[in-house]
Amino acid sequence: AVLADNDHQVKLWTRNSEQAQEINGARKNMRFLGEAALPEGIEATTDLAEALKGAEAVVFVAPSAAMREIAKLAAPYISEHTCCIHATKGFETDSLKRMTTVLAEELHRKEEELVVLSGPSHAEEVVRKQPTTVVVASSNQEAAEYAQDLFINSYFRVYTNPDVIGVEVAGAIKNIIALGAGLSDGLGFGDNAKAALITRGLAEIGRLGSAMGANMLTFAGLAGIGDLIVTCTSQHSRNWRAGSMLAKGLAVEEVLKQMGMVVEGIRTTRAAHVLAEQYDVPMPITEQLYQVLFASKPPKQAVEDLMGRGRTHEIEEVAKSWGLHQSEPPVI
């Protein structure tokens, strides 16, 4: 919708012919976006070759679990000059790869040429043209600026950022913390608990990001704290909603069935549990979520275990695990 509002000719690929007809006819996508009106410039199709023919830019927005399969299908129709952008938040579950790595492998492109778009951006608000800010990250500044030009407008402000790793790690891990925030709200805990989850969640994102090679300043930005705040506090968030349902005692499978939409945080918890081990970084919130989701741990017990952890010193702990020296400002 943002691209069509910017007068680009947009082809939207879907597997579902009824959805394509609804978008082209009624200019709506009722199941996912309710009554929101979609711009005229969008043409939905179930024919992937037709969708990609002559495209100057391609935006991949499939759930992380489907990214490799879709990139493989799309690869034959994408030229080496096409700008490839993705807005998916998660890791590949088995390989633990970031989405730009998966895309680069399947599209036979250099990871440095690809762009990731991320930040606090619930689709329900964007489609209603409510003020939204995001980042487009690429190691290639030209590619990032090209993506910035495509998307930026009066209600959708786009910043560039060279730190692809930081933006992708933040976008994936914030969904785990949002599951925790939903769980906390569902258990009847208050704003103190949620603020604690957001803050200590950011520490956790920073630890993994630092170990994986991110620029720590990314986590102070839109893809970091910005997206963490919106996903932990917005009722649009599927991850928050899934967490609140888990608190009511629903099993993971039942939560997914009732949601009928992707809840990235669930798969990402599994991936981050392994990444934390691999990189040897403590991720206590992720670990407790893992126990609740995959080892039947009662959510209240998880809260008790988090609160009962050994005493620690805030600044020393953050400085050490984020790889910062307390006396020196971080290097940009």
Ligand X SMILES: O=P(O)(O)OC[C@H](O)CO
Ligand Y SMILES: NC(=O)c1ccc[n+]([C@@H]2O[C@H](COP(=O)([O-])OP(=O)(O)OC[C@H]3O[C@@H](n4cnc5c(N)ncnc54)[C@H](O)[C@@H]3O)[C@@H](O)[C@H]2O)c1
**Closest distance between ligand X and the C-beta of residue 178, in Å?**
6
Per CB under 6 A, does 88 bind ligand Y? yes
Closest by CA to 169, choosing from 138, 205, 143, is: 205
Query: What is the 3-class SS of the chain, one letter each residue?
Result: CHHHHCCCCEEEECCCHHHHHHHHHCCCEHHHHECCCCCCCEEEECCHHHHHCCCCEEEECCCHHHHHHHHHHHHHHCCCCCEEEECCCCECCCCCCEHHHHHHHHHCCCHHHCEEEECCCCHHHHCCCCCEEEEEECCCHHHHHHHHHHHCCCCEEEEEECCHHHHHHHHHHHHHHHHHHHHHHHCCCCHHHHHHHHHHHHHHHHHHHHHHCCCHHHHHCHHHHHHHHHHHHCCCCHHHHHHHHHHCCCCHHHHHHHHCCCCHHHHHHHHHHHHHHHHCCCCHHHHHHHHHHHCCCCHHHHHHHHHCCCCCCHHHHHHHHCCCCCCCCCCC
Nearer to ligand X, 107 or 228 (CB): 228
Candidates 70, 198, 202, 216: give the one binding ligand Y (CB under 6 A): 70
Please give the residues from 87 up to 146 whose contact with ligand X meets the rule CB under 6 A.
Answer: 89, 120-122
Candidates 169, 178, 183, 232: give the one binding ligand X (CB under 6 A): 178
Per CB under 6 A, does 168 bind ligand X? no
Name the binder of 120 from ligand X, ligand Y, none, CB < 5-8 A by kind.
Answer: ligand X
Name the binder of 69 from ligand Y, ligand X, none, CB < 5-8 A by kind.
Answer: ligand Y
Q: CA-CA distance, 206 to 150, in Å (whole number)?
A: 30
Q: CA-CA distance, 303 to 317, in Å (whole number)?
A: 21
Is 121 annotated as belonging to a binding site? Answer: yes
Is 180 annotated as belonging to a binding site? Answer: no
Per CB under 6 A, does 316 bind ligand Y? no
Is 244 annotated as belonging to a binding site? Answer: no
Per-residue binding string, ligand Y, 227-256, x by CB under 6 A, is: ------------------------------
- Going 318 to 319 to 324 to 330, the CA torsion angle's sign is positive
Per CB under 6 A, does 262 bind ligand Y? yes
Candidates 61, 195, 220, 251: give the one binding ligand Y (CB under 6 A): 61
**Closest distance between ligand Y and the C-beta of residue 66, in Å?**
3
Is 262 annotated as belonging to a binding site? Answer: yes
Q: Which residues are catalytically annotated?
A: 174
Per CB under 6 A, does 227 bind ligand X? yes
Per CB under 6 A, does 87 bind ligand Y? yes
Is 264 annotated as belonging to a binding site? Answer: yes
Is residue 13 left, alpha or beta, with left meaning phi > 0 and alpha meaning psi from -120 to 50?
Answer: beta
Name the binder of 237 from ligand Y, ligand X, none, CB < 5-8 A by kind.
Answer: ligand X
Please give the residues from 112 up to 151 whose contact with ligand Y meets the rule CB under 6 A.
Answer: 121-123
At 26, the amino acid letter reads A
Binding residues for NAD(+): 123, 238
Binding residues for substrate: 89, 238-239
Enumerate binding residues for ligand X (CB under 6 A).
89, 120-122, 175, 178, 227, 230-231, 236-239, 264
Binding residues: 15, 89, 119, 121, 123, 174, 227, 237-239, 262, 264
Enumerate binding residues for ligand Y (CB under 6 A).
15, 32, 61-64, 66, 69-70, 87-90, 121-123, 261-262, 264
